[in-house]
Amino acid sequence: MTNSKRRKGLSVASALLGGVLVLSACSGGDEASGSEGNDTSQAKVDEAAAQKTSEAQIKITPADGSNNASINNSATVTVSKGTLAEVKMTTADGTAVAGEISADKTSWKPSAQLERATTYKIAVTATDADGREAHENASFTTVSPDNSFIGSFTPEDGSTVGVGMPVSINFDKAITNKADVQKGITVSSSSGQEVACHWFNANRMDCRPQEYWQEGSKVTLKLALDGVEGAEGVYGVQQKTVSFTIGRNQVSVVDAETKQMKVMQDGKVIKTIPISAGSPDNKTYEGQMVISEKFKETRMNGATVGFTDDDGKGEYDIKDVPHAMRLSTSGTFIHGNYWGAKSIFGSVNTSHGCVGLSDTKGADDPNTPGAWFFDNSIVGDVVVVKNTGDKTIAPDNGLNGWNMDWAQWKAGSAI
């Protein structure tokens, strides 16, 4: 083929090919009509898809990806326009967390308090009225110990205590936002007595009425601290209510001068017991003291409270002190004494600062003064010590805030 013929052939082929291309690309009105037809068809598909989508709307709290989540109020699941079919909650390592769907199947929550510093995952399935399923997933991490605080409180929930028992709360982190934390704590009494709280330091707050609690009253402590910022970046996690009952009104008065203790109930003396208080060199603190702990037997080592000999050993180390009841954090007790001569009780003060009562070794004789007083005392009872010649015990040395007058006590409130 000559070059001219070849070029002509190519031109014809190109023309034919071009015609095909033109025909393919420009179906004119037919292509336009086809496009409109596709739009209509897509609309029908979209409408059908919309009809198949569940109307159930699931909400998980906290939001997916949350940090420092509450251990009390997190992991709540609710649904509107439908009912819950299944809720699965696990820790990051796959451990299942028990929970319960409400009777109307519109909410779910865990059966127990969550753990701190733990990542949880939740997978939810719900259905609408037509049985169409909706799904939602979330993951969150609860507040860490470093970013949270708790308050250890006394007395225990459900206990019966003496009329002098304050509510004492010790926080495991220093509290700088005292007012916010105090607002989250409520102490009330069935007696209607006004209760005020006093901060001794950044970690301790005690609450009490002006006078001793009324006999037989019920005291309620409410902690609504969940999410309360106690210090910068440190949040409360407690949300609970506890209560305790005030027992009979017993106040005992120790007179170091007469070496006698008068045990009174409702202001009437029910028993007088000879005692031996602190020696002239080791006087017993004066003031109103509250029994905070009871031990049938306990060890007392002088080295733990500063009584040491030249070798640094305790001046005394008694491993089986009977019927001991704590009156101060610093080591003041009222307890049984079996090692002292019976003649000292009621006649001479010989102790290192405690109040001693005649007793026997082994704490197994119920007829001794030490055993009687132990058996007839409860935590929260008041022991008033006078005429020792020593200073009044500090209000924060034990549960002894009664040694502060009402005006001073209220002045220590943050609100």
Q: Enumerate the active-site residues.
A: 335, 354
Residue count of the chain: 415
Cβ-based neighbours of 208, under 8 Å, separated by 6 or more:
166, 167, 195, 196, 401, 402, 409
CA pair distance 332, 335, nearest whole angstrom: 10
Burial 87-118 (b: 16+ CB within 10 A, else e): bebeeeeeeebebebeeeebbbbbeeebebeb
The DSSP code for 59 is E
d(CA 359, CA 124): 66
| Rounded distance between C-alpha atoms, residue 247 and residue 23, angstroms | 103
E strands present in 17-163:
57-61, 76-80, 83-91, 99-101, 107-110, 119-127, 133-141, 148-149, 151-154, 160-161
**Position 126: which residue type?**
A
Nearest to residue 242, comparing CAs of 218, 267, 269, 272?
218
Residue among 130, 260, 150 nearest 203 (CA) = 150
